[in-house]
Amino acid sequence: QVQLQESGPGLVKPSETLSLTCTVSGGSITSSSYYWGWIRQPPGKGLQYIGSLYYSGNTFNDPSLKDRVTLSVDTSKNQFSLRLTSVTAADTAVYYCARRDYGDQVFDFWGQGSLVTVSS
Amino acid sequence: YELTQPPSVSVSPGQTARITCSGEKLGDKYISWYQQKAGQSPVVVLYKDTKRPSGVPERFSGSNSETTATLTISGTQALDEADYYCQAWVSSTAVFGGGTKLTVL
């Protein structure tokens, strides 16, 4: 059974960069059938897609965040990462990493989520 | 592109709950449905409109036609109380509906 675990700072100052890492266990991040994605959820609100990447490095980001988001992968550690620059209070959210089954077009496994608060 | 869901749906235990998701030409896309209980991560309950992952009860079913996809929960149980989100892929971007809070009264 695949498991995903987010890690990173829980508090980020405005204008700084949010960085999170997702560690995948129980499966290889280099599997050809899957992309690896990030989704966030502001407190009390719905789910918002951030982006996905393939182990080769191809990335697909939500247009609304495109210029601020960088996704990367470290196959040697079975991890992938998110960097979000110039954060504001509006970026306060629970950040989830998830596995995207490309063929079935579904996020089939999710991490437990990591709350990131943007505040000075 | 937007997916529109009703903010809330209420149902009595044992009855059928229907949660809709509307969008332009939605029938041309595959829809997934996610269940999110309070304080937990989302869990997929349907994908490709009608397919249930292993472990999801048969009471969860789905349909998708023209502009509306529907998640149907037959014989709703108290443990089905949760937020439900529909999701589609549009130009390689995942779009989520705003979510529907299902209350089992």
Cβ B94–A52 below 8 Å, yes or no? yes
Written as one string, the DSSP assignment of B32-80 is EEEEE-TTS--EEEEBTTTBPPTT--TTEEEEEETTEEEEEETT--GGG
pLDDT for res A82: 96
Cβ B99–A47 below 8 Å, yes or no? yes
User: pLDDT per residue over B46-84, tens digit each?
Assistant: 999 999 999 999 999 999 999 999 999 999 999 999 999
pLDDT for res A106: 96
Report, as an integer, the average pLDDT of B38-49: 97
Written as one string, the DSSP assignment of A28-61 is -TT-TTEEEEEEEE-TTS--EEEEEE-TTS-EEE
Which residues in chain B touch residue A104, judged by CB atoms under 8 angstroms apart? 47-48, 51
Burial class for A57, CB neighbours closer than 10 Å (0-12, 13-18, 19+)? exposed
pLDDT for res A4: 98
Which residues does chain A have with pLDDT short of 50? none
Cβ A46–B96 below 8 Å, yes or no? yes
Q: Which of A48, A63, A106 sits opposite B47 (nearest CB)?
A: A106
pLDDT for res A60: 79
Calculate how close chain A gets to B50, using CA atoms only, in Å: 11
pLDDT band at B35 (very low <50, low <70, confident <90, very high): very high
The residues in A 52-91 lying below 8 A from B, measured between CB atoms, are 52, 60, 62-63
pLDDT band at B11 (very low <50, low <70, confident <90, very high): very high
Which residues in chain A touch residue B85, judged by CB atoms under 8 angstroms apart? 46-47
